[in-house]
Every structure is written in structure tokens, then in C-alpha cells.
């Protein structure tokens, strides 16, 4: 079947990645539908904008109907999932669940309309983290990636490293970082090369197997680690930042040799292999360490 007029549906189009990706698609002449929960963030009249709260089933149905009416017929439709509510653990979980549900409903409706749905999902290397170093965010995104991988929809889940928010970002320099612009460009490239018949998980090579990748880090005091752990369990259970801080403190307490094997920020081969084997997913890994302009840093600089 000949594919005509490819279209892209961006869920979470007003977020930090979405507002960078949508202009790239528009400039490339891609037929784009941008779904956002924030009215007034529309950037281009060439893009069809839909305002919706995807955690609302009625809004979900409205989005699915609008997309199927616009994109029905024998054409390739790429759904890009960028949805993430960072207001807290509860909001994050709701948003990830809502995005997953919307993608699956779009899959079914588009197929009913004879379209060919594909998926590009922005995820995170946090899905690779072992249980001791996990966070609610990493677990939610892990469940989502596994669901997508087994949902029978071809596409790519791109496991992003830390994304740089500002020049003075306090993220430890031993962890590679990408700029939001670079991540948006990677997603744009993924849209263009999404597989026609398989779902893959793409993992950047971030230098996790470098011999000195975790060396030179001073272990935090044990009382500080315990305090961070109790804080995220008792007083700041809904804080994404608190859970992330606790997980990083536990990682910092680990011996360097172990740290190199379990630090998801570096995407070491052992973690990638374990994830692929345990969840029966296909992994594609970049060959070169990525240090893009504007945000990447060498893993052992």
C-alpha cells in the first residue's frame, strides 16, 4: 500500500521538548497536529492545535476523533509522546498513564480508519535503573516503555539522558547531558526513520563502560543518605526532586566499581542488556559517545 501525506501528532506540544519539536516539523513541511493542555501556547498557524487534558477521558476521546478525521485513510501517522507533568509524583503518574492510554486509543482508531500508526516516545535512561536506585518517575516510564514495546505499534522509545535546563545547571559534570534543542533534533530524526514493523528502544552510548566513568566522586555521609531517604518516604512523598535526590545519594554511597555498573545516567552495557533480556525488548544503541553542542559533556571530562 502506497503511503501518502505522512502526518505527525505531537502529544505534549507545549512542553519543553514539544515547543522545540513542533517548529522543526512545521519548517520541514510536515502535516502536524499539536495537542496541548495550555491554551495560548500556539506557535504556528500552519499547525493544527488541539487543547485537551489527556487525563480526562472525554478530552481523550475528542483528540482521538479529531486525529482520525484528519488522518484517516491509507497514510502513515506518527504519534509523538512527549507528555509529562512535573508538578509532583501523583501528577507525573497521571500524565504518563493518560499519555499511554491516549496512544493506545489512537492506535486502535487509526487502524480502523485504514491508517498506519507509528510511535515515537520520549523516555529516559532512568528506566534502566536497578530497584535500589529507582524513583517513581523511572518506574512509571519503565512501565510505559514496556507497554509500548508490546502494544504491536511500530516505532521508537528514545531513552534520553539528563537534559540541561540552564547554563548553571548543578547536575554533576560526570553525567553526560543534552540540551533540549539537541533532544528535539534527535526526536525529529526518529520521526523520519521510525521502523515500519517493529518497536525498538534506542539508547545513546553515554560512556558507561569507560574505566573512570564513576571515579573521583566523594561518597555522601551516611546520615545525609538516610535523611534524604526518609524525607522522600515521609515528608516529601509527592516531590520528584526529593525522590531523585534520595536515589542519587544511594548511588553515591555505592563503591565506584559497582557504581559504574548500575549508574543509569551513563547507560552501561550491563544495564542495557539486563533491561532487554528481562522485558524482551529490542535495543538499538548508538556507537559513538554523544556530546552535542550546547549541553553534552564527555562522560569522563
Tens-digit pLDDT profile for residues 105-147? 999 999 999 999 999 999 999 999 999 999 999 999 999 999 9
| End-to-end Cα distance, the chain | 50
Angle, helix 89-112 to helix 136-149, in steps of 10 degrees: 10
Q: How far apart are CA 98 and CA 59, in angstroms?
A: 11
**Do 241 and 143 belong to one domain?**
no
The answer to whether 41 touches 19, Cβ cutoff 8 Å, is yes
pLDDT score of 172: 63
Q: How far apart are CA 103 and CA 263, in angstroms?
A: 30
**Do 151 and 283 belong to one domain?**
yes
Q: Determine, yes or no, domain membership for 214.
A: no
**Do 164 and 245 belong to one domain?**
no
Of residues 61, 68, 73, 89, the one with CA closest to residue 9 = 68
pLDDT(294) > 60:
no
Tens-digit pLDDT profile for residues 197-213? 899 999 988 876 655 54
**Do 102 and 180 belong to one domain?**
yes
The answer to whether 83 touches 98, Cβ cutoff 8 Å, is yes
Q: How far apart are CA 260 and CA 265, in angstroms?
A: 10
Output 286 or 67, whichever has higher pLDDT.
67
Determine the structural domain holding residue 90 and report its residue range. 7-209+264-289
pLDDT score of 296: 41
Tens-digit pLDDT profile for residues 227-250? 888 888 889 999 999 999 999 998
CATH code at position 23: 3.40.50.720
Q: Determine, yes or no, domain membership for 227.
A: yes
Of residues 256, 265, 281, the one with CA closest to residue 273 = 281
pLDDT score of 299: 33
In percent, how much of the chain has pLDDT > 70? Answer: 84
pLDDT score of 289: 39
Amino acid at each position: 500500500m502506497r503511503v501518502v501525506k505522512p502526518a505527525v501528532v505531537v502529544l505534549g506540544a507545549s512542553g519543553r521538548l514539544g515547543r522545540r519539536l513542533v517548529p522543526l516539523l512545521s519548517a520541514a513541511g510536515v502535516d502536524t497536529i499539536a495537542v496541548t493542555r495550555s491554551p495560548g501556547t500556539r506557535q504556528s498557524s500552519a499547525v493544527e492545535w488541539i487543547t485537551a487534558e489527556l487525563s480526562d477521558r472525554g478530552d481523550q476521546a475528542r483528540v482521538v476523533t479529531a486525529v482520525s478525521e484528519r488522518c484517516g485513510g491509507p497514510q502513515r501517522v506518527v504519534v509523538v509522546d512527549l507528555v509529562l507533568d512535573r508538578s509532583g509524583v501523583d501528577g507525573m503518574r497521571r500524565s504518563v498513564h493518560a499519555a499511554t492510554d491516549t496512544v493506545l486509543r489512537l492506535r486502535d482508531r487509526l487502524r480502523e480508519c485504514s491508517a498506519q500508526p507509528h510511535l515515537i516516545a520520549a523516555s529516559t535512561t532512568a528506566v534502566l535503573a536497578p530497584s535500589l536506585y529507582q524513583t517513581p518517575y523511572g518506574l512509571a516510564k519503565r512501565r510505559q516503555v514496556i507497554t509500548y514495546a508490546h502494544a504491536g505499534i511500530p516505532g521508537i522509545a528514545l531513552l534520553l539522558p539528563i537534559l540541561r535546563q540552564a547554563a548553571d545547571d548543578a547536575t554533576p559534570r560526570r553525567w553526560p547531558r543534552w540540551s533540549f534543542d539537541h533532544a528535539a533534533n534527535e526526536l525529529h530524526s526518529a520521526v523520519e526513520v521510525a521502523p515500519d514493523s517493529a518497536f525498538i528502544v534506542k539508547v545513546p552510548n553515554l560512556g558507561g563502560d569507560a574505566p573512570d566513568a564513576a571515579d573521583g566522586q566523594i561518597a555522601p555521609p551516611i546520615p545525609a543518605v538516610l535523611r534524604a531517604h526518609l524525607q522522600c518516604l515521609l515528608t516529601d512523598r509527592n516531590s520528584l526532586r526529593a525522590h531523585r535526590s534520595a536515589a542519587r545519594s544511594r548511588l553515591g554511597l555505592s563503591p565506584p566499581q559497582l557504581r559504574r555498573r548500575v549508574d543509569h545516567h551513563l547507560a552501561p552495557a550491563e544495564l542495557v542488556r539486563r533491561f532487554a533480556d528481562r522485558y524482551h525488548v529490542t535495543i538499538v544503541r548508538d556507537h559513538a559517545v554523544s556530546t552535542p553542542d550546547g549541553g553534552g559533556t564527555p562522560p569522563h571530562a
